[in-house]
Structure 1
């Protein structure tokens, strides 16, 4: 991976930069000499992120479901970058909600698509004129759930399957301008998304009918135990940030970056093992 340059800093927009992978990406890229526009929902989080970055991290209030905020952020970036354009965008913002698909409220299902898919597309569309100026890079945050979805994560997995399709199509569409598109596919990462997902799932279960608990009591219990164990075996978000840096800086970036042994193993398993066998493995691993 190339070392940081002493030339004029390259600029990148990172969405969902308040915590976890997004914050790690912002800090890693800033340390490598990038000027990072960090999209955060709360400016207080952005100020904490920017502290100690010597001005390389510039927090901007950005809810990817808010079209007015997206346009405001693009105007600000355009004013600061001018004709140099934007060298990269890292579409990281995302949420995950768990629960049996049979009983998951449709508004919870839709909320995940609003953030993980439509928000990603809206941001990408808005910044592409700036990316085209510099022949920059588009980085999309997928997941191992995008190619091998676990039970009770159908909504989240569906959004990440959609991101896989977007990456494949966009990569070819933007090729005439020399714009590279890379898809990051993390496995289990030590981020607040797990605690947030657990809390959100608990709220979902409260609103679900009694038959949900009756029908799914055992697997839901197994799922909760699995989620509790994930942080102990998950890898740090800086590993994902390293893959993002490679996607932005490498002369020949990869089209896909599975990150973590679970993601690497999963990408191999789906190619060589029949679905029924894979279902059995997943049930055993999850205690179902």
Structure 2
């Protein structure tokens, strides 16, 4: 059961999945601290308090924790929902290593920085929960999203260790693993692909051009073909407040099918299916 005495912190709360999480928690009477880089992106709501936070700054994470601590009053922090993230794409053969570092800094290191900063407040609650927005890409790594997939694999491993480390204190850890989610991010996906291709050397375009064309097609279909962000938000609410939360939430039919296929099919068979979709042969 939830009550107005409970609060959660949600990172990456300005759009997409993060905004859906804020809306879902607030609709269930939960006080929400919406952590964003731009406070103006958070809509006014009596149960929602915007908090400035760039997850790549440990100093900002600790400052945000102090702000939340001062604002809690009689409310107790029940959940840390680490949702902020970015997606870096492109063939690993030609990847700028600074882009890989940026990917890992946001999607892995930043998640731990926020968790470390807010864990003391969670311990005060006595039975809090930590949630990470991962992806089915943390199980199955498709071509041209190697940096993103690597970050989600690392995030899953970090969450697994953290879950076992915090178990003695009754603090739960869950990961959310959706596949395609219909969010505004897909509206600019084609432009993002064009930017990646434009920065590659001619040899990379020669080798991977057909795969990029497949990615453009997949991106166009994803905006309307994915699950609504509210489904991921509902899983986050369950992960924080259910009596028996899951360690992993495969959100949506697509995620469950991909996870099952990647786990059951011989890797040569699965690789062939992925290769045919991306490279046409």
- Same fold per TM (> 0.5)? yes
Aligned residues: 279
Aligned to 1:27: 23
Pick the aligned partner of 1:105 from 96, 109, 117. Answer: 96
The separation in 2 between residues aligned to 1:281 and 1:158, in whole angstroms, is 21
- Which runs of structure 2 are paired with 1:209-228 in the superposition (5 Å)? 209-228=201-220
The separation in 2 between residues aligned to 1:124 and 1:198, in whole angstroms, is 33
Residue 238 of structure 2 is aligned to residue 246 of structure 1: yes
Q: Please, what is the CA RMSD of the aligned residues?
A: 1.5
Unaligned stretches of 5+ residues in structure 1: none
Pick the aligned partner of 1:176 from 165, 168, 181. Answer: 168
TM-score, normalised to structure 2, is 0.95
The separation in 2 between residues aligned to 1:267 and 1:22, in whole angstroms, is 23
- 1:168–1:59 CA distance, 2 compared to 1 (3 A): same
Aligned to 1:96: 87
Post-superposition CA distance 1:201-254 (Å, at most 9, x none): 322322221111111111111111111111121111000001001111100001
The separation in 2 between residues aligned to 1:83 and 1:70, in whole angstroms, is 22
- Bigger mean CA deviation after superposition, 278-287 or 191-200: 191-200
SS of the counterpart of 2:51? strand
- Which runs of structure 2 are paired with 1:91-240 in the superposition (5 Å)? 91-134=82-125, 135-240=127-232
The separation in 2 between residues aligned to 1:70 and 1:246, in whole angstroms, is 25
Deviation of residue 24 (structure 1)? Answer: 0.1
Task: Indicate conservation of the 8 Å contact 2:187/2:223, yes or no.
Answer: no
- Bigger mean CA deviation after superposition, 258-267 or 147-156: 258-267
Task: Indicate conservation of the 8 Å contact 2:128/2:171, yes or no.
Answer: yes
Task: Indicate conservation of the 8 Å contact 1:95/1:193, yes or no.
Answer: no
SS of the counterpart of 2:29? coil
Deviation of residue 270 (structure 1)? Answer: 2.0
Residue 274 of structure 2 is aligned to residue 282 of structure 1: yes
Unaligned stretches of 5+ residues in structure 2: none
Deviation of residue 65 (structure 1)? Answer: 0.7
The separation in 1 between residues aligned to 2:246 and 2:103, in whole angstroms, is 27
Task: Indicate conservation of the 8 Å contact 1:104/1:204, yes or no.
Answer: no
Aligned to 1:66: 57
- 1:177–1:83 CA distance, 2 compared to 1 (3 A): farther
- 1:233–1:257 CA distance, 2 compared to 1 (3 A): same
SS of the counterpart of 1:164? helix
The separation in 2 between residues aligned to 1:70 and 1:45, in whole angstroms, is 19
